[in-house]
Amino acid sequence: MSVQVSPVSATSSKLPFERQQLEDIGFMTCMTLTLLGNYAQTGHFGGPVAYTPFNVVTHLAGPELGGLRYDYRRPKHPYCDKFMLAAGHCAPTCYALWMIMGEALYRKYEATGDRRYYVAPDVAMLPVDALGFRRGAGALKTLLADVGLADHPLFAQTRGRGIRALSGHIESTDVTNDVNGGPSGVGIATAAGKAAFWDMAGAEIGSPKIIAFEGEFAMCEGHAQELKTQAIALQVGKRLRIFFSDNNAGIDDALIGGVINRKFEGYRLIDQWTSYGWNVFSIPDGHDYDQIVGVLKAMEEWDPNDRRPMIVFGKTTKGYWPGAVNGKVGAGDQVVGYASHPYAMKMNSEYFIALAQTFEERYGVEFSGIRQGPVSDPRERLIQFKTNIDVAMSVLDRNGLGEWLADRLVEIGDRVKDNVPLRIDVKRDPFLDERLRVANLPEEPQTLTVKNSVSGAEKQVKIALFRKAGEVAGARRGVSEIVKWLNYVTENRALTLAADLSESVNLFCWLQTRAGRYIKGVRAP
């Protein structure tokens, strides 16, 4: 049975959160990612802006409202919640947000010297890294020097750290992101495994949690079907939470009415998930900050004994723009749908100026040189690029927004625990155990007692790593004995992913998840 979050319950939540600050940072994020595309003349536009409100709320609402628990200063901390932008081509929404976050902390540290706001230069993503969008690390080493800008004060943030290369599709090395989001959204397939891992390790349900973003076209592919089955079979529950950006727009066409003829009324995306047994939520406006906070909070407070994985269908608009009014951006029509997917605007084009003007009018700023046409000189382009990135960042100076953001990031980061109770010993590598050395392997058959760490049940297991000359045994018996010994020594760290074949080839693992599911191998559907 699906669970629907009605428009009424989502919009009338009246939850205590700083909506204005989130909306301002959301607009800054949209504007910054648009500047990336304008000056790089490559990348994507419609998808990244569509994800931006959910991205901002997920990163800044705070864990008590269902947002991420993470530390921007230590984004790869093992006990952070895991964020997955599986829609890899939508990387600009994250790059822009991370730059804004990095700048807020950078400013606060420079102003106060307080180490709580310090982020290591090789960890932070800063406004100057905008120049690295879709450029390789090699080219960036001499980018400024080649045009005589190495010592220009506008690029002072590069000193001692250089410019960070930002690939077109997001990678797992990027700040909070925990997946290599390929162009086909293949990263979403790992979400169930990430959730199951923490269940097997014995972590409390929902902490760490896995939050992943993806859209409808990628969710029609084969890996999405595997995800649906794996997550429900492994009973990962509320630990896994997916945001489905539902805007009926792909790269070259619409899904319904394009790839799928509208006459097939039975083709309903939300039904494809309820039919797999998932816990399905929906919000009518995936850009409304109240609704997003409301559904995140609902998932956070959900019964942990309900072992259905969670997905939120949020109606979004590809090409969304915070300053659009009734489908208009300025005097012209807003570009939406699949036509907005690529960054197809020429540098400083009319539509770009119309977008920028809504930002200028909202915040009382003015971008430099954008009304004088495209910039052909490489040196001047870099100067105008960074100048206008700084114009967007200047909104942090309004109404204490930068102070609020820096403090919020520290507050969220301080909630990440360095020690989390687990069933496994994280202070040693069990695969370095002396009993696994060839010289130490027992030649005689062993009868051992193994214990299920959840139920406490014990079982006698016989292991024979060697056979006498002339004895006959199948190859799978040899594999079975090796895996049994590995799991005895490592306390069930050796897992297999073999459809439903693990048991039939005698792979042994005496493991039980918190959901009460016994896993042999582990058997992944």
* Residue 243 β-bridge partners: 213, 312
- Asked if the model's pLDDT at residue 169 lies above 60, the reply is yes
DSSP annotation of 10 reads: H
DSSP annotation of 203 reads: P
Torsion 361-362-365-371 (CA) sign: negative
What is the DSSP pairing of strand 332-333 with strand 458-463? unpaired
> Across the chain, what does the average pLDDT equal?
90
CB atoms within 10 A of CB 302: 20
pLDDT single digits (tens) 101-133: 999 999 999 999 999 999 999 999 999 999 999
pLDDT single digits (tens) 438-455: 999 999 999 999 888 778
With H, G, I as helix, E, B as strand and everything else as coil, classify residue 215: strand
Amino acid at 41: Q
Amino acid at 417: K
CB atoms within 10 A of CB 185: 26
CB atoms within 10 A of CB 211: 28
- Region 13-21: mean pLDDT is 76
Angle at CA 36, nearest 5°, toward 33 and 40?
A: 155
Q: What is the largest CA-CA distance in the chain?
A: 87
Find out whether 216 and 247 touch, Cβ atoms under 8 Å.
Answer: yes
More confident residue, 8 or 335: 335
> How buried is 242 (Cβ within 10 angstroms: 0-12 exposed, 13-18 middle, 19+ buried)?
buried
- Complete DSSP assignment for 17-55: --HHHHHHHHHHHHHHHHHHHHHH--SB-HHHHHHHHHH
pTM passes above 0.85? yes
Map tokens 């114009």 to a residue. Answer: 391
pLDDT of residue 525: 27
Cα–Cα distance, 380 to 356 (Å, whole number):
19
Find out whether 117 and 105 touch, Cβ atoms under 8 Å.
Answer: yes
Map tokens 């459809």 to a residue. Answer: 499
Cα–Cα distance, 387 to 379 (Å, whole number):
12
Omega cis (within 30) before 5: no
Cα–Cα distance, 190 to 509 (Å, whole number):
21
Map tokens 């520290």 to a residue. Answer: 410
pLDDT of residue 510: 55
- Complete DSSP assignment for 103-151: HHHHHHHHHH--GGG---TTT---GGGGGGBT--HHHHTSTTGGGT-TT
Cα–Cα distance, 142 to 198 (Å, whole number):
43
pLDDT of residue 508: 62
- Asked if the model's pLDDT at residue 49 lies above 80, the reply is yes
Cα–Cα distance, 273 to 77 (Å, whole number):
32
- Region 398-408: mean pLDDT is 97
- Asked if the model's pLDDT at residue 153 lies above 60, the reply is yes
All structural domains of the chain: 4-91+167-413 (3.40.50.970), 430-513 (no CATH)
pLDDT of residue 4: 46
pLDDT of residue 16: 66
pLDDT single digits (tens) 51-76: 999 999 999 999 999 999 999 999 99
* Residue 342 β-bridge partners: 44
pLDDT single digits (tens) 302-340: 999 999 999 999 999 999 999 999 999 998 999 999 999
Query: Which has the closest alpha carbon to 33: 364, 376, 388?
Result: 388
**How many angstroms from the chain centroid is the CA of residue 158?**
27
Cβ-count burial 279-294 (b if 16+ within 10 Å, e if not): bbbbbebbbbbbbbbb
- Region 382-408: mean pLDDT is 98
SS (H, E, C) 311-360: EEEEECCCCCCCCCECCEECCEECCCHHHHCECCCCCCCHHHHHHHHHHH
More confident residue, 105 or 506: 105
- Asked if the model's pLDDT at residue 245 lies above 80, the reply is yes
